[in-house]
Amino acid sequence: MKIFCIGRNYSEHAKELNNEIPDAPVVFMKPPTALLKGKDFYIPDFSNDIHYECELVFRICKNGKHIVEEFVSKYIDAVTVGIDFTARDLQSEQKKKGLPWEIAKGFDNSAVIGDFTTIQNLENVNDIAFHMLKNQEMVQAGSSGQMINNINQMISYISKYFTLQQGDLLFTGTPAGVGKVSVGDKLEGFLEKEKKFEINIK
């Protein structure tokens, strides 16, 4: 199982981090050990600035390579809401040095996923609303319709370079509103109006 992630896929989020809007999907990966489902998140001792990034997460249902955009729907079967936890301080240090920043993105338990909803239960894959509450206050809200690269474009692009396999996951980027988590925080993610995860920060 592979975890693909797309960075800078919402223009307002790129702006809030002073990043340029990319010409093509920005792809990075997390290892399987990053996956966290239904458990508390413990702030690691190597960072003082862990940020939440709420995202739509799609699940791959069949193997594929060089997938044409018009056939992407055959390769995804479910979607949920997740969190791409980021050690922002480590990421900034690595960027300043021109070094890769996997340690800031791929550490253990940095990829939260909620309960999945089958694609067939959604009216429009290109207009899926989602949001996240932090301590019962909305901090992020977005829609797949706001993404710079839609799901068809992302899957087609990734499959040029990597063989997609059943069970792989795709984190699709985060809207504006990311921020720091602290011990005692509670994060709740919603797909449309349905709660998909609840994470307590320890």
Give residue 98's domain range.
3-200
Q: Say if residues 54 and 83 touch (Cβ distance below 8 Å).
A: yes
CA distance 62 to 105: 26
Q: Using one digit for the tens of pLDDT, what is the confidence trace for 58-89?
A: 999 999 999 999 999 999 999 999 999 999 99
Residues 6+ apart with CB under 8 A from 20: 8, 14
- DSSP 8-state secondary structure symbol assigned to residue 159: H
Please give the tally of structural domains in the chain: 1
CA distance 174 to 12: 9
pLDDT at 12 over 90: no
Q: Is the overall model pTM greater than 0.85, yes or no?
A: yes
Residues 6+ apart with CB under 8 A from 101: 90, 91, 94, 95
Element (H, E) at 161: helix 151-161
pLDDT at 101 over 70: yes
Q: Using one digit for the tens of pLDDT, what is the confidence trace for 148-189?
A: 999 999 999 999 999 999 999 999 999 999 999 999 999 999
Q: Look over the chain and give the mean of its residue pLDDT values, rounded to a whole number.
A: 94
Average pLDDT over residues 89-104: 95
**How buried is 99 (Cβ within 10 angstroms: 0-12 exposed, 13-18 middle, 19+ buried)?**
exposed
pLDDT tier for residue 8 given thresholds of 50, 70 and 90: confident
pLDDT at 200 over 70: yes
Residues 6+ apart with CB under 8 A from 86: 50, 51, 53, 104, 105, 110, 178
Residue at token pair 């998140």: 41
CATH number where 53 lies: 3.90.850.10
